[in-house]
Chain A
Amino acid sequence: MFMQQMVNGFSLGSMYALIAIGYTMVYGVLRLINFAHGDIMMVGGFLGYFGIAVLDLPFGAAVLLAIVGSALLGMASDRVAYRPLRSAPKISLLITAIGVSFFLENAFNVFFGGVPKAFPVPAYLENVIDFMGLTMPVSAILVPIITAFLLAIILWVLYKTKYGMAIRALAFDVGTVNLMGIDANRIITLVFGMGSALAAVGGIFWAVNYPSVEPMMGVLVGLKAFAAAVVGGIGSVGGAVLGGLIIGFTEVVVIAFFPELGGYKDAFAFIFLILILLFKPTGILGIDFEKSRF
């Protein structure tokens, strides 16, 4: 029973972590809480749904469609809505992000309806297997493994490639990066693309787990994932993963052992967020934003 809950917590935490990475990377380069990030995740889930249910694609191809489509949407949102505001006050950027978020939610609500759509989960993901005495669906085991794999790729890009170096430099000082002959806007577009692709994977996981998609599914997840990014230490990819796992575990474990607190499940992330901002504003893997980043 205990182990079972641990696996569930790990699985939920991995989903938060995937989405939190996008928040933390965008915050690192733009100092923007990208409110629309949770909705990009929703779009990812929807694209997966369309791929399977409407276009009749195999699951893998639908996931690829979701990843590519979400990455393009993320980059487009930056190009259209955020790039013209690079020199504007930060608050304007934040308000625009809220506007983009509401636009995506309501556009999907109008055109595809607010009723949750059943997500066609392939049978091999729903198979229940015995794994070291635990019975659980394949997906609950696959989610953490895929998350670890994607995290390894992200870390490799960040620390072993020229683009990663540019991203880290951008988080440190935009002006100098431009002086070095790097096109900051291209790098920011890349960051949005990477973050949105991860969000799409998170959205697919979510859709498989719950099995449904609906236009508002990204709101709460997005806010919790942002809380996770802050708890772990915003600007740090490892911190985002750690924060995501902490919040995922807390939600699962507390409800497993104190069912009467079930109604407060959605408040845990915010309570964590407020506590961490009160006592260690830089987060657990704290990065002092005035000194260094990543």
Chain B
Amino acid sequence: MNNFMIKKEQWLKISFVVITLWFIWFANTHFDEYTVRILNNIAIFIILAVSYNLINGVTGQFSLEPNGFVAIGAYVAALLLVSPDAKQYQYAIVDPYPFVLTLHANFVVALLLGGAFAAILAAILSFPVFRVRGDYLAIVTLGFGFIIKILAINHPEVTNGSLGLNDIPEFSNLYWTGGIAIIAVITVLNIINSKFGRAMKAVRDDEDAAIAMGVNTFKAKTLAFCTSAFFEGVGGGLLAALLTSISPDLFDFFFTFQLLIIIVLGGLGSTTGAIIGTVLVMGGSEWMRFLDEPMHLFGYETAAMPGMRMVVFSLILIFIMLFAREGVMGKRELTDILKWRKKGGK
């Protein structure tokens, strides 16, 4: 019976992958450019949200640093992707270091290196970061994310300072973003269902009890932190190759705030929730574009109000926290819900 259940779950996963792949192909051939662009965004944010959820939701360590890791991935990938010729003319503030001009790699290498740099940085940072817990951890990671942005601004020899890097080849398309999103989701799910994942959940539910039971909590937290940083770095690379230009301002705290809304709305700790949250927030943010524009209300025309969407989003975040703290999914996954329906409550 148990065996059968595992098999059924795997079939479920495989069918999801197949359906997603078919949808990617269908979207790529049938949808217009605007829709495909939104879908690209959603796919990248699924990568980011699912990996952010691993450290925040599953392991319960309230990191506020994803913007920093995304920035690292984006900058590493961009430096490797921009052709030496295009680099020559970009550095307007100071002349770049000579080695910067020679850097060049293909897309896969650039993405992997972006992820690797972010993961290595996360491994180094985990020593100071995991000496503290709870809200202290939040503020320390926020500080590191901020410092990464300041470093990007103050090293124009590498990053071109506040001007950022331009002319990044537009390699990202739905096959890349969607494909990597599938890989990220499967990897994260496999980690959650492994013994490391159980250790992570133990850390979240009661860290002292986990230590007492002999769980190496530092290892569990560091693994979650590095995995999440790796995919955030890869996502950053994809983002750079989608937007074709990046600058430090793109990676301020607002970026983290967006991801935070996504995983809170979907349900902290649920990978399915992170995906649903991404679709709701990114899709909703497109749909709510009308809020920023002039409106006709009862015969009056209101002025354009850029930023109105963000007001609505912050109100949504507060309302979720006050009235529906579990979000859409709580800590459940899609497979839990399907199991529950079949067996009538287990």
* 18 additional A-B residue pairs with CB within 8 Å, beyond A110-B307, A274-B140: A81-B318, A81-B322, A85-B322, A91-B268, A95-B264, A95-B317, A95-B321, A98-B317, A99-B314, A99-B318, A106-B311, A107-B311, A109-B307, A230-B136, A264-B150, A273-B140, A277-B131, A278-B128
Q: Does A223 contact B (CB under 8 A)?
A: yes
Bound Cα distance from A226 to B135, whole angstroms: 12
Q: A81-B322, A92-B321, A110-B308 are in contact. Are A230 and B154 (CB under 8 A)?
A: no
Nearest opposing residue in chain A for B318, CB measure:
A99
Quick check: A270 and B146 within 8 Å, CB to CB? yes
Check if A278 sits within 8 Å of B131, measured CB to CB.
yes
- Say yes or no: B310 contacts A106, CB within 8 Å: yes
Give Cα A216–Cα B306 distance, bound, in whole angstroms.
15
Interface contact A33-B139, CB-CB below 8 Å: yes
Contact A32 B314, CB 8 Å, known A95-B321, A274-B128, A274-B143: no
Binary contact readout A79-100 vs B (1 if CB under 8 angstroms, 0 otherwise): 0010011001011101110111
B134 within 8 A of A: yes
> From residue B129, how far is it (CB to closest CB) to chain A in Å?
9
A263 to B153, CA, bound (A): 8
> Is B146 within 8 A of A273, CB to CB?
no
Nearest to B319 among chain A residues (CB) is A99
Set B150, B310, B313: member contacting A266, Cβ < 8 A: B150
Taking the complex as formed, is A227 at the interface, i.e. its CB lies under 8 A from any CB of chain B?
yes
With a cutoff of 8 Å between Cβ atoms, the chain A residues found around residue B322 in the complex are 81, 84-85, 96
Q: Is the CB of B318 within 8 A of A277?
A: no
A-side interface residues, number (CB < 8 Å): 41
Work out how many contacts link A and B, with CB atoms closer than 8 A. 106
A286 interfacial by beta-carbon distance below 8 Å: no
B138 within 8 A of A: yes
Given A85-B322, A95-B317, A95-B321: A267 and B147 interface contact (C-beta under 8 Å):
yes
Q: How far is the CA of A226 from the CA of B306 in the complex (A)?
A: 30
Task: Please tell me if the beta carbons of B128 and A263 are within 8 angstroms of each other in the complex.
Answer: no
CB distance from A126 to the nearest CB of B (A): 31
Inside 8 A of A107's CB, which chain B residues have their CB?
Answer: 311
Known contacts: A92-B321, A267-B147, A277-B136. The answer to whether A98 contacts B308 by CB under 8 A is: no
Asked if B154 contacts A264 (CB within 8 A), the reply is: yes
**A270 and B154 contacting across the interface, CB-CB below 8 Å:** no
A219 interface residue (CB < 8 Å to B): yes
Once A33-B138, A106-B311, A266-B146 are accepted as A-B contacts, the answer to whether A99 and B154 lie under 8 Å apart by CB is: no
Q: Are A103 and B260 in contact, with the CB atoms below 8 A?
A: no
* B143 and chain A: residue at smallest CB distance: A270
**Is B91 at the interface (CB under 8 A from chain A)?**
no
Interface string of B97-134 (1 = CB under 8 A from A): 00000000000000000000000000000001001101
**A271 — which chain B residues lie within 8 A by C-beta?**
147
- Jot down 8 A-B pairs with beta carbons below 8 A, ordered by A: A85-B321, A92-B325, A95-B317, A111-B305, A223-B139, A226-B139, A263-B150, A273-B140
Residues of A within 8 A of B144 (CB): 270, 274
Contacting pair A102 B150 (CB below 8 A):
no
Contact A110/B150 with A88-B325, A94-B138 known, Cβ cut-off 8 Å: no
CA separation between A260 and B308, bound complex, in Å? Answer: 39
Q: Confirm or deny: B225 has a beta carbon within 8 angstroms of a beta carbon on chain A.
A: no
Partner of A103 from B128, B253, B315 at Cβ < 8 Å: B315
- Take A81-B318, A110-B308, A110-B311 as given contacts and tell me if A98 and B257 are in contact as well, using a CB distance cutoff of 8 Å: yes
The CB with the most chain A CB atoms within 10 A, among B306, B310, B311, is that of B311
